[in-house]
Amino acid sequence: MKLSELLNDIEVLENTAAGDLEISDISYDSRAVKPGMAFVAVEGYVTDGHKYIGSAVKNGASVVICQKKTVEDVPYVLVKDSRQALARLSSTFFGHPARKLKIIGVTGTNGKTTITHLVRDIIEKATGDKVGLIGTNENIVGDKTYEAERTTPESYDLHKLFNEMVGSGCKYAVMEVSSHALITGRVEGVRFEVGVFTNLTQDHLDFHKTMEEYRDAKAKLFDISNTAVINLDDPVGPYMRDYAKCPVITYSAKNDEADLVAKDIRLRQSRVDFCAVEVGKIQRIELHIPGMFSVYNALAAIACCEALGITLPDIAAALRESRGVKGRVEVVPTDTDYTVIIDYAHTPDALENILRTVRDFAKGRVVVVFGCGGERDKGKRPKMGRIAAELADFVIVSSDNPRSEDPEQIIEEVVEGMKGLKTPFRKIANRAEAVRYALAHAKPDDIIVLAGKGHENYEIIGNQKLHQDEREIVAEFLANRKK
């Protein structure tokens, strides 16, 4: 594509490059630059891409797009905001694929992954259309599944995925939209058919600083959505409803003022079922994922899919066939007299949800293994310690991606929140050892909750990303025991 075509949607402040320059591809990573490519120098929150212009030039960049003038001997295009430019350039380069898809975005602290999978299941089963998926666990395009590096990809990677989805015959894309993505412009130029808000609890305050900033970041989804679906039971729900300028559909399990309300809720060991009630409609819903939060996830998916024109009976039929997502209330096969559940819970609210869910059907003790991430919001550490001590019968405080922080120090900050409570606990910094300890001391009818890692099959210690899958740890422990 010629540079002049690529710059069609960009406000250019200064340009020293020829318009007929042929651009083979775009990169925001200087290490990935090849001859003929355009390098976009993005000013990030960790580092500044402008520092790597020289590296990009050495690798063969034909032109640099930047928001600070470069001293390198290379044609450049000066723009006001290179991050915004990256999104617009990427959309243009791939032929504006987002305009060829009906895109559903889900934001909120918890529930995003499950809801996106439920929405995908419903659309595909009810309409027969292909649906691409972008999220924390994985990115799915047709029959291909890619490991996800972050909840919402960088704008170039996002439009590349959209383009692949269009090419594979997808008519819809459903994606998790993080607060980071909304603030940093990763979804610049994307219009959402439906935007969903699940809830807001403490998380990412290392980035947003205050809950108000975090809330306002999430609310930006409704600036770029045609329809908003909002959880009215969340304390922030009314704020989101009032903020949204597009049509709004609210859902609730408590408030009859909502457009969609769950009634006659029955929480069972392996599923939930309830009546979905709307004006002039009522439908029994059954979802084979336990816990009250599953009711809320189902309500979000129902409201979203109705906004897309799918009927309530078709939605109910699809939900009956849906199963859980890897790492979300995932029961690990053990063939033992105790149960092991893996869950991604890594926020105070999510940890409380999984422990209350398990408490509802536990016959024996509830044992939880969890930790808190290094270089992340420190304020939630004592809160999660207190929740664990209040809701579990035995607590093992361990690691969860300590990164460059001292795991022992993180554990002490978690344990600080457990003071004054009599729940027995143990501190084991090595995550694999903590899991093995829980299994070795399990009693009949215990439920062991391995919280925080979920779908992740790694542990980040220092700068190293080390393979560690808790399913494998459990399987290996049980195999050795049989020997």
- Per-residue pLDDT reduced to its tens digit, 79-120: 999 999 999 999 999 999 999 999 999 999 889 999 999 999
Residue recorded with tokens 């108000």: 212
Dihedral of CA 137/141/147/153: which sign? negative
Q: Are residues 386 and 255 in the same domain?
A: no
Could you give the CA distance from residue 381 to residue 417 in angstroms, rounded to a whole number?
8
Q: Are residues 246 and 338 in the same domain?
A: no
Could you give the CA distance from residue 97 to residue 349 in angstroms, rounded to a whole number?
36
Q: Are residues 120 and 242 in the same domain?
A: yes
Does residue 204 register a pLDDT over 70? no
Q: Are residues 268 and 171 in the same domain?
A: yes
76, 93, 110: which is the final residue of a domain?
93
Q: 315 Cβ partners below 8 Å, 6+ apart?
A: 122, 126, 283, 301, 302, 305, 306
Share of the chain above pLDDT 70, in %: 98
Look up the CATH number of the domain holding residue 157.
3.40.1190.10
**Residue 195 is inside which H or E element, if any?**
strand 192-197
Q: Are residues 203 and 344 in the same domain?
A: no
Q: Are residues 410 and 437 in the same domain?
A: yes
Does residue 408 register a pLDDT over 80? yes
Q: Are residues 133 and 105 in the same domain?
A: yes
Could you give the CA distance from residue 30 to residue 41 in angstroms, rounded to a whole number?
9
Look up the CATH number of the domain holding residue 69.
3.40.1390.10
Mean pLDDT of all residues in 281-305: 95
Residue recorded with tokens 């306002």: 216
Q: Are residues 205 and 313 in the same domain?
A: yes
Q: 344: domain range?
A: 330-482
93, 119, 150: which is the final residue of a domain?
93
pLDDT for 400: 97
| Among 194, 296, 295, 189, residue whose Cα is nearest residue 237 | 296
Q: 303 Cβ partners below 8 Å, 6+ apart?
A: 196, 229, 249, 250, 251, 259, 260
65, 93, 121: which is the final residue of a domain?
93
Mean pLDDT of all residues in 122-148: 92
Q: Are residues 207 and 305 in the same domain?
A: yes
pLDDT for 210: 84
Q: Are residues 78 and 147 in the same domain?
A: no
Does residue 205 register a pLDDT over 80? no
pLDDT for 150: 75
Q: Are residues 397 and 248 in the same domain?
A: no
pLDDT for 103: 98
Mean pLDDT of the chain: 94
pLDDT for 203: 54
Q: Are residues 237 and 219 in the same domain?
A: yes
Share of the chain above pLDDT 90, in %: 83
The more confidently predicted of residues 46 and 325 is 325
Could you give the CA distance from residue 70 to residue 122 in angstroms, rounded to a whole number?
50
How many domains does the chain divide into? Answer: 3
Label each residue of 450-463 as H, E or C: EECCCCCCEEEECC
Which amino acid is located at 451 in the chain? A
Cα angle 419-422-428, degrees, rounded to a multiple of 5: 70
pLDDT for 214: 87
